[in-house]
Structure 1
């Protein structure tokens, strides 16, 4: 039943992607985007294959000990990397917090998972004394890494699931004592799981002490972690808003970025993350649920309810019979990983591990239960045999074609990385063109346009000494930038970043004297603002573009709208000050400038700007730069 529920999740994602306004994004994404239909399909296919191939006690034990071997290598390597980051960088892990799992917190969750695997083997599986000591030593290393990461969620999950193991172990020992009929006066005692109890105490100690104790090791090791994500409440608010608009199928898989831009709270503008585009919410599972509508919610609920019920049934059965430790182990480990995915976006490795371990659990529980397996034979009937072989051949052909396409996409990632790290424009131009030749998506198209914008800017700086070839190159660069930006909007018409870039391209064209394009810049920015209505930076972009289009009143309206959304928006205040100065409203110009200075009283550029307004009412005023609130692409600095 759990496998059928997993199939229901896949179907929910398929229909949600099918009815999405950007179906290419929902079906395929940029690369291995974890929220796409194809990723979910592949993940649940992994679960199915795990249940079929690994769903017997012998193979399950091989998986457990293989997990111990691989996780032990990761734990030892990452611990050594903390003390020798230069030697063990492997060319890519430059910082102490760089790791093979991706994010620093994900490493902490993996260390917690490794500790649970080791603990389960120590407590329930027959091992030699040397093996037990080795596993306990690896568990201590895992706990050291958890302390170094200092992610409270890991201590909570580790303590909670270790408590389950502790209670389970005691219950089994007590049940064995009564089952065997050992009299109380013989002196025989049930085994007390000391090591499990020790882990519970340590987890509780670190969780209760907070940063007072938890921050000690990261401080000593010089570790810092700056991961930011929306709160659970903010994620649920976005999900609720999406459900109101698209109650059945939602916005579409892999579309949390667009959902966040459209439905985020205005309170985010009071923080330094007001212009951050979050591609996931507080956790992976809430992010997946937030964009797939009620159909996706019901499918996930059915899957987890059936998984939990099946797991509890297996646990009580194994307590009674004192067997099937593998079933209990894989259930506990899969639930740990799913819980981690609910509270944190841990990436592909943890999520795939969760589904693979859930698949092994389903296979084990199916074999231990009467009637838990379904066998289908196609060889008894030649017609069924022919159809089944034909179906398998078609699946192989389709799989090979998809594998080839994904190989191309995988190759494109390396070229995209080269484009981002290119030392000069020609190198970046060559790399991004190769990436687009292998796979077209809006991220690559935006980068393509940005490369040509940089090239355009370098040519504009020497406009007075351009050769005929360079003038032709300037025109070509402008055309290519427009082509890339427009292509991005066609690929994903509800991603505000695409229209924001398109507005920048049109605005650059307007400064070069291209006729009748100023209004296009304004319209592109307005479309971006409609897709991200509470972003004050987009309002300011419209104001700047309106000035180029000589629509001063509209520019003032949008600058004021930006200040309404973000009262401490210095760039908007400076723009209004400039407009007032150009209209000979010196009092108004000074008022806006003083408001900006009150927000950043130590900013030297603002101080000089205000002083210049006080001293002279006729001289040209220089625009301050490097203000405290300045964003990466602040429109104010373009004036």
Structure 2
């Protein structure tokens, strides 16, 4: 009997240990979600290129899978699992499936899966983690814990808004370079800051109404006050319309359920409704509020047009999650070239809805609409269903706040873009609401010999392996991003060797990221001149170092476009690398032209790429001998056609006009050359090099009046421009303005003491001789104006 008692005690002790460990796993799972809700809105880290969403995504991946692992361990140890089953979960699964299929057929699968350097919030891995978040919340949280989860999220967003307000007023609590900007906050853009405040305001109001504890009411009251100040400071019209929608919905449901609602509390939504209407309609500014940073975003009409064109090419599953920048470059209207933002790329459309339509196709848009419709249907049933329980009033009020905040965020998806924080809030609200209205869970017992246990164990194993693999890959991505930013920073400080080492490490860790290869190619290209001028190397060593940098630059440029052929930036950078090698490496002229042609296919309305293709040809023409007149003539006409194409795309594109003038000069077509330069002048009136060049042309044509006008313009733009002063002095001399000419050459000698030619000319003019007596006539140089790079 004693032995039996010992065995029983041992078994009991073992069971208690198992139970204790299982409870610990359950707590870890829940604490991970609480931590996520609090940290994600306020997190930013300075050691990666993308300080916000890239780090938030890393946090999301880490904490979601920690929570999943802990939950699964709890299930394995306890031998029991409670699952929230129901048809209401199907739309979430369908959305994930659509994103999976769209990613598989994406124009760049790596970017669509991981996000950065594409849009992080739209990536498949982000959607996977948000769906896992949904599964965890609806399965492991009780109703009271939902309140705690939402409270962490609201308070964190309140802190983020408070920090954003301080930034707007120039009070930089964390002055570390990039944070010393009025527009910086931990949520995203300043407009996203306003939208977040508008989205969470209804939930905060309902918390104030429903809670009985004074401390909670004070805390949520402070949060509501911060959200209100944020809205007033930003004065963003879309945010005000969202406030109107949220306040109107609270008022409508409050009037409908007067049996639950104390009508005295309706003053809160009525107040915000009045404030929202006033600011939305009258658009006035509050005295004392800071000037808002300018934020550029696409309007609805051009986005709809672009999305429609993209939908015609990829109607079902789109171009892939996060690829709107490629869609924009390919389908933007040529009229964009007449605006100041003609060379600006946009990673988002005017709204999340239209962006999803273009990138995830009709199926993606339909999946979101179905999710919204199902949520609206079940939410309406819950809010109008009467149920007598002790905590019904609190659950109904909390559910109403969650429901209205979700509806406001859904409306914002049709009016503005999104980011990872807003998408996190979106899924957190869905999961919380479903957990509130469908709290009953079905329990399964995992018996050792049952089929369901085998299936569940297999699923757990796959999840563990998949999650562990993601942990490793995400860790590699993070380390490579840190090395990339470090390499760029070191390059800016002039530490070339260390910079190249960091960039090389970045591409070795994450070879699938095209941005790293593209930047590495540019670094190798810039390094050519550096190693060529190193005096501590012998001539042979310098030659070998230069050749090595050339080979590496060409290889890195090629790998970038091979890694992601859908990126116009990769082809443009590859073309520039080849263009820089013309005259050094054989065949690079043709390679450069072909690369720019590929870039032009991906961005057909951009004038830069045909212009650069033409410049590549002119660089090759300059190397031809006198016996290649036929080839020179053909190549000049080919270059001219590229420049004419660029001018068709953007009539005021100065570089194309100027380069076309170079062609006409080489062809001996003087009148057409002057016309092209005049056109370039109209497009770039403040370009000093162009003013100088045009003045020289008129000087050579002996039209001294026009030459003086252009050279005077060049001197006004740059008073110390010695070459312009030189030719302007000669022009004044030809116009009979001898004293003015002498004054200019005296000025030249002040800038260039002892200049032999200027001294001789000045002596000639003072002694009454011809200015250029004994001096050869100056040639007309071609001074290229600055080319605009993408």
Q: What is the TM-score when the length of structure 1 is the normalising length? A: 0.88
Deviation at 1:519, TM superposition (A): 0.6
Confirm or deny: 8 A CA contact 2:506 2:516 kept in the other structure. yes
Q: 1:197 aligns with which of 241, 254, 270?
A: 270
Q: Does 1:532 align with 2:532?
A: no
Q: Does 1:554 align with 2:714?
A: no
Q: 1:517 aligns with which of 574, 584, 588?
A: 588
Q: Does 1:168 align with 2:240?
A: no
Q: Does 1:17 align with 2:103?
A: yes
Matched with 1:621 is 781
Distance between the aligned counterparts of 1:21 and 1:605, measured in 2? 41
Distance between the aligned counterparts of 2:442 and 2:357, measured in 1? 31
Deviation at 1:586, TM superposition (A): 1.6
Deviation at 1:124, TM superposition (A): 2.9
Deviation at 1:190, TM superposition (A): 4.0
Q: Does 1:435 align with 2:592?
A: no
Confirm or deny: 8 A CA contact 1:338 1:351 kept in the other structure. no
Deviation at 1:53, TM superposition (A): 2.3
Unpaired stretches in structure 1, ≥5 consecutive residues: 178-188, 634-639
Q: Does 1:151 align with 2:236?
A: yes
Matched with 1:287 is 355
Q: Does 1:96 align with 2:182?
A: yes
Deviation at 1:280, TM superposition (A): 1.8
Q: 2:203 aligns with which of 112, 117, 123?
A: 117
Confirm or deny: 8 A CA contact 1:170 1:192 kept in the other structure. no
Higher RCO (CA < 8 A, seq sep 6+): 1
Alpha-carbon distance change, 538 to 131 in structure 1, aligned in 2, over 3 angstroms: same
Deviation at 1:539, TM superposition (A): 1.3
Distance between the aligned counterparts of 2:652 and 2:534, measured in 1? 37
Matched with 1:324 is 396
Q: What is the TM-score when the length of structure 2 is the normalising length? A: 0.72
Alpha-carbon distance change, 554 to 35 in structure 1, aligned in 2, over 3 angstroms: same
**Larger Rg computed on CA atoms:** 2
Deviation at 1:297, TM superposition (A): 2.6
Q: Does 1:298 align with 2:366?
A: yes
Deviations 1:373-411 (A, max 9, x none): 555554386232133123212211221111111111122
Matched with 1:336 is 408
Q: 1:609 aligns with which of 693, 701, 704?
A: 693
Matched with 1:636 is none
Alpha-carbon distance change, 6 to 315 in structure 1, aligned in 2, over 3 angstroms: same
Distance between the aligned counterparts of 2:780 and 2:252, measured in 1? 77
- 3-state DSSP class of the match of 1:623? coil
- 3-state DSSP class of the match of 1:346? coil
- 3-state DSSP class of the match of 2:121? coil
Deviations 1:168-193 (A, max 9, x none): 223322x459xxxxxxxxxxx94252
Matched with 2:433 is 361
Alignment of 1:413-428 (within 5 A): 413-422=481-490, 423-424=493-494, 425-428=496-499
Confirm or deny: 8 A CA contact 2:330 2:603 kept in the other structure. yes
Distance between the aligned counterparts of 1:142 and 1:303, measured in 2? 28
Distance between the aligned counterparts of 2:263 and 2:452, measured in 1? 56
Alpha-carbon distance change, 225 to 576 in structure 1, aligned in 2, over 3 angstroms: same
Unpaired stretches in structure 2, ≥5 consecutive residues: 1-86, 622-634, 702-777
Alpha-carbon distance change, 112 to 190 in structure 1, aligned in 2, over 3 angstroms: closer
Matched with 1:582 is 666
Matched with 2:788 is 631
Distance between the aligned counterparts of 2:377 and 2:252, measured in 1? 19
Range that drifts further, 316-325 or 558-567: 316-325
Deviation at 1:559, TM superposition (A): 0.5
Matched with 1:351 is 423
Deviations 1:110-142 (A, max 9, x none): 2223433321212233242x6545533442332
Q: Does 1:52 align with 2:212?
A: no
- 3-state DSSP class of the match of 2:120? coil
Deviation at 1:207, TM superposition (A): 1.5
Distance between the aligned counterparts of 2:362 and 2:204, measured in 1? 39
Q: 2:466 aligns with which of 394, 398, 401?
A: 398
